[in-house]
Structure 1
Amino acid sequence: MPRYVIGDVQGCFEQLQQLLVLIDFKSDRDQLWFCGDLIARGPQSLQTLRFVRDLADNAITVLGNHDLNFLASLHGYGRVSAADQLQALQQAADLHQLAEWLQQQPLMHFNSQEQLLLVHAGLAPCWTLPTALSAAAEVSQSLTQNPALLFSQMYGNQPDLWQDAADEAARHRFTINACTRMRYCLADGRLELKEKGEVSANPDLIPWFEFWRHTPHPTIFFGHWAALQGRCDVEQIHALDTGCVWGNSLTAYCIESQRRYSVTGYIKQL
């Protein structure tokens, strides 16, 4: 069974379908792993969510920051802008069912047998893998048991270090930030959540994956960082967000063959 890891779709449903034609995807044979941010900013978030949900066991997805922000908005938190192009999803007759499905998706997916980790943003340098998985599972439990409380406490950049998370709300906020928003860290491993560029002019900012260059880690697949254009030279860490919604490309990586496939991204109509 071929498995393909796909970068941020962000509502670019047509490009996703083109990519699936390119890889000759068979829904009863192959499996798709999505790096999160299935929705927002592209024009067809509703179709994208329906499609991925209907793949059932032939799709694995983790939550991204745009996915969580949309879910938070349904509970009265967060803010969805017109640029997110989510009106059709917000007005869909099956909105409740789609949101319930999305809310059940994890922050991390880990294949322990093959040591494969799927996450939207990355693996925080102040975590061990067991700590990361435990923290992500705790957030998933809160998402299903008390989502309104989780979303009410989700926003903010502090704590920026796991060791400073003094209570449950702080642990959840750090975990969500690390799994869905992180790009750069400071030298001591603190999250820096403002800089988004590929190469920061600030020498104090270090891409999160550089901390794992000489440290044992699983094979990591991540999205979120479109400015990287799929480039990460740390062994066994694969960047998959190639900026489809910005008109660049949508990319899939085949785990079995270690090949990449790409189609041209979404071109906004003026």
Structure 2
Amino acid sequence: MISRLPGLSLPERAWGVVRRWALAWWRILYLGAVVCVLVLSPSSYGKVTRRALARYLYLDTAPVLLGFTVLAALISLVLTRIVVVTAISYGLSRYALEMVIRVLVLELIPLTAALFVAMRCTIPNGTQLALLRQSGHLARLSHAGADPVRVELLPRAVAGVFACITLAALSCVVALVLAYLGVYGFSLAGLPSYTRMFGHVFAPAVTLVFVMKTVLFSLAVALIPMAAGLYDTGERTQPDSELGGLARMFAVLLLIEIVSLVGNYY
């Protein structure tokens, strides 16, 4: 039985979904461009912004640095042991270490660092930004002549990018050291072959893809939750919630990972 309340037709509902989807992605791209301009602008680093930036850099990186490094070390040890034992059983021991480096350092650690920073730092910061918007704090800043993006969003976004790159870089170094120790032990005899293998894996093209992927991961996890928290769709029936921002963030991370795999192996 048809409801007495008039509803939207199927084309109208489809158009509404497409419009909200396009608007959300446009806001992410626009916010990313604005943040890049503000980062490169010396006027963005006033006394208040510098203090907020230093605070968020510390809060988003220092408390999680040790824990994530230990987690990456445990994953490195377990994965190295599994791959080495499996490769030896199939007579492929000379490929074991290269496989560990490719899977762990090139693919797993950057993605894990991005997801860890998102869950621990940037998504909560995006929620805080949404609460500031709903309480009227951002509007009061705008009426007072201050830029809400420069004052509240920029320090959070820069701290998220810094935390993601720092965790990924430190964990990759730890993984490389533990992978060597897992295969050769505390001996320098395997260092020449290890350095040759390292140079073979980290060719210039692969290194470029790795660096670009890590930077894009950090930008995605830093900007997309902030965009979901900063903007209000104005539609009470279907608001742009944190869940929508989370889905878009995962979609971007998946797309970046797919492109990097294509660039490395095809």
- The TM-score normalised by the length of structure 2 is 0.22
> Could you say which structure has the higher strand fraction?
1
More contact order relative to length (CA 8 Å, sep ≥ 6): 2
> Could you say which structure has the higher helix fraction?
2
- The TM-score normalised by the length of structure 1 is 0.22
Higher alpha-carbon Rg: 2
